[in-house]
């Protein structure tokens, strides 16, 4: 009886190991090409941004664009969402230059940040990403409210529902 339990346990363990190995092999990502062609030339964008006391970008004050519109949109969206902080987690209010450099050989983007001027009147303003999220939430609430109102307008009135059925008649 004891040998039977050991054999069952060994089979279960061996089966789980082989299934685990098969799962790991199946879960390994296979390299797939990008769904769009990558740029073949170096691209550069540069932004001057105001950073608040929390390290959030408040606004972009100026930008230098590349000839690639898609790259410009991606880097602009990224610069509005970044936090600029010291390694210890503290932040310094100021005017910063943020550069994005794309290397077509490695397909990597290098981001560099440099402080141009410390201080600023925007130290206690909200970050751009926080403002954008609030606007998006408000727009979503408005859209859901409009959809709900449209659904309610399509429903028949209670009066129509209660008085629409025919009165009973005797069967002959």
Q: Identify the helix (H) or strand (E) that includes residue 142.
A: helix 128-154
pLDDT for res 31: 66
| pLDDT tens-digit profile, the chain (172 residues) | 444 444 444 444 444 444 444 444 556 666 666 677 888 999 999 999 999 999 999 999 999 999 999 999 999 999 999 999 999 999 999 999 999 999 999 999 999 999 999 999 999 999 999 999 999 999 999 999 999 888 877 767 777 777 756 666 676 5
Q: Which residues of 72-100 are buried (b: 16+ CB within 10 A; e: fewer)?
A: beebeebbbebebeeeeeebebbbbebbb
Domain coordinates of the chain in residue numbers?
39-153
Do residues 156 and 134 touch, judged by C-beta distance below 8 A? no
User: By C-alpha distance, which of 124, 68, 125 is closest to 100?
Assistant: 68
For the record, the structure tokens of 74 come out as: 């991606």
This prediction has a pTM of: 0.65
Location of structure tokens 């929390």: 54
Do residues 97 and 72 touch, judged by C-beta distance below 8 A? no
pLDDT for res 152: 77
Please give the Cα distance from 129 to 12 (Å, whole number): 52
Please give the Cα distance from 68 to 63 (Å, whole number): 14
pLDDT for res 15: 43
């Amino acid at each position: 009886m004891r040998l039977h339990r050991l054999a069952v346990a060994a089979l279960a363990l061996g089966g789980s190991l082989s299934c685990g190995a098969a799962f790991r092999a199946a879960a390994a990502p296979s390299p797939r090409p990008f769904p769009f062609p990558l740029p073949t030339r170096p691209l550069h964008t540069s932004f001057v941004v105001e950073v608040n006391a929390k390290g959030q970008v408040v606004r972009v004050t100026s930008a230098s664009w590349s000839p690639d519109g898609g790259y410009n949109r991606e880097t602009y969206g990224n610069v509005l969402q970044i936090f600029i902080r010291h390694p210890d987690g503290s932040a310094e209010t100021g005017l910063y230059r943020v550069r994005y450099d794309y290397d077509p050989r490695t397909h990597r983007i290098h981001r560099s940040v440099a402080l141009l001027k410390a201080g600023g009147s925007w130290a206690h303003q909200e970050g751009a990403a926080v403002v954008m999220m609030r606007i998006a939430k408000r727009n979503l609430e408005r859209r859901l409210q409009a959809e709900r109102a449209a659904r309610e307008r399509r429903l028949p009135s209670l009066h129509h529902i209660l008085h629409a059925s025919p009165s009973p008649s005797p069967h002959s």
